Structure 1
Amino acid sequence: MARRAVGGTGVKGARRPELRLPALERFEGGGGSGLEPDGDYDGLEFRGADLAGQDGAGARFMDCALAECALDGTRLSRARVLDSVLTGVRGVGTDLAEATLRDVEVTDARLGGTQAHGAVLERVLVRGGKIDFLNLRSARLKDVVFEGCVLVEPDFGGARLERVEFVDCALKGADLTGAVLTDVDLRGAAPLEIARGADRLAGAVISTAQLLDLAPVLAGEMGLRVEG
């Protein structure tokens, strides 16, 4: 189940996930071996688990909760995270390349250098926390909401964003090179800083104040000289 966020005039709002997790069993580490490639994790709670450096590539997480887990260098490429909640996760260099996140809530994450290029995010809510240097190149985002969080130099190069909202969110140094935007609501981003790819903002909605702030960047993209 999902509910649609309220969008402004002329822009379709994102559908947010509505999660109701079942009673969960505590993850015991699979007999001490931790995550396994192509593993199947269903209805589990990972609380305070140190998953740093572990290999869960291709694994499936269904109806799971990850709370206060360490994800430094954790390999989750091509993993599927479905109907799950991540709270207070932290780590540098987490590998989510080509992963699928569907009906997922991420709350108060502290992540840096997360590799999510080629990933698919659908009905995902990222609330609170700070994510530095998020690599979403060539990713597909549909019905994604960034709320009350700080994104530092996120890379959306070549990505497709459809019904994506930024609500009370700081967006610093974003790269939109080659991105395709459809019904993307940037009005709640403060500050809104586009380092590259401002010419790709077609399909987004911004406020009048943001337009004035972006005027020098847009003029530069157009090769427009402003004098006097």
Structure 2
Amino acid sequence: MRAVRRPELRLPELRPYDGAELEPEGDYDGLEFAGTDCSGQSARGARFMDCALRRCALDETVLSRARIIGSVLSGVRGVGTDLSQAMLRDVEVSDARLGGVQLHGAALERVVVRGGKIDFLNLRKAKLRDVAFEGCVLVEADFGGAELERVTFDDCTLARVDFSAARMKDVDLRGAAAVDIARGIDRLAGAVISPAQLMDLAPAFAAQVGVRVE
């Protein structure tokens, strides 16, 4: 297993964001969004470079096709955040409380997701390279058709995860606290699991090949 490359973060001295509404195709550089309510706003195609979003509300915020680079998202919360086809590179996400996040078709590279809980995460057909999930809870995460390379799930709870049509290379599930695969058990080629996880997943493997266990 090749080790996951971590984000290379060197935030400069940040300037407070002035609180104006986000703009599509906006350019945000070296800013700190502290407790900003971005609910319902659109920053489609915007660029966030060397920014920190702390305790921000992202309910129904549109960030599709946005580029988030060298940035930190801490304590963000929201339902229905749209990050479809976005690019996240050298990003740390910590203690997020999100639901129904749309990341389908997105590209994530050198990203850490630490702590928090994300429900109904949509990563269909996304590309994840050098992504570390640490100590977080993912409920019904959808990786359908996604490409995962050098991805780890340390101390994470994966509940009813969907790996249908996913492609994996150097994916490490051994550190996960719990792994519950709803669909796509046949797509684990390229992943590593522990002997204990193999025993837990044995019924699903048996069902996949049509073996009855009585």
The verdict on a shared fold, with TM-score over 0.5 as the criterion, is yes
C-alpha deviation, 1:18, in angstroms: 3.0
Give, in angstroms, the shift of residue 189 of structure 1. Answer: 1.0
Q: Counterparts in 2 of 1:121-200, with a 5 A limit?
A: 121-200=108-187
* Counterparts of residues 99-110 of structure 1 (less than 5 Å): 99-110=86-97
CA distance in 2, matches of 1:61, 1:223: 49
Determine if contact 1:13/1:165 at 8 Å carries over to the other structure: no
C-alpha offsets along residues 126-179 of structure 1, whole Å, 9 cap, x if unaligned? Answer: 000000000000000000000011111100000000000001111111000000
Percent identical: 70
Amino acid at match of 1:27: Y
* Structure 2 counterparts to residues 43-122 of structure 1, below 5 A: 43-122=30-109
Q: Is 1:201–2:188 an aligned residue pair?
A: yes
Give the distance between the partners of 2:96 and 2:175, measured in 1 at CA. 20
Q: What is the CA distance between 1:26 and its match in structure 2? A: 0.6
Q: CA deviation at 1:28?
A: 0.6
What is the SS of the residue equivalent to 1:189? coil
**Structure 2: how far apart are the matches of 1:198 and 1:75?**
32
The answer to whether structure 1 residue 24 and structure 2 residue 11 are counterparts is no
1:222 CA displacement: 1.2
Tell me the amino acid that sits aligned with residue 85 of structure 1.
V
Task: Measure how far apart 1:102 and its partner are.
Answer: 0.2
The AA in structure 1 aligned to 2:30 is: G
TM-score (norm 1): 0.93
Using the size of structure 2 for normalisation, the TM-score is: 0.99
Q: Specify the code of the residue in structure 2 equivalent to 1:153.
A: E
> 2:137 corresponds to which letter in structure 1?
V
The whole-number CA distance in structure 2 between the counterparts of 1:208 and 1:152 is 23
CA RMSD, 1 decimal = 0.6
Q: How many matched pairs?
A: 214
List runs of 5+ in structure 1 lacking aligned partners. Answer: 1-10
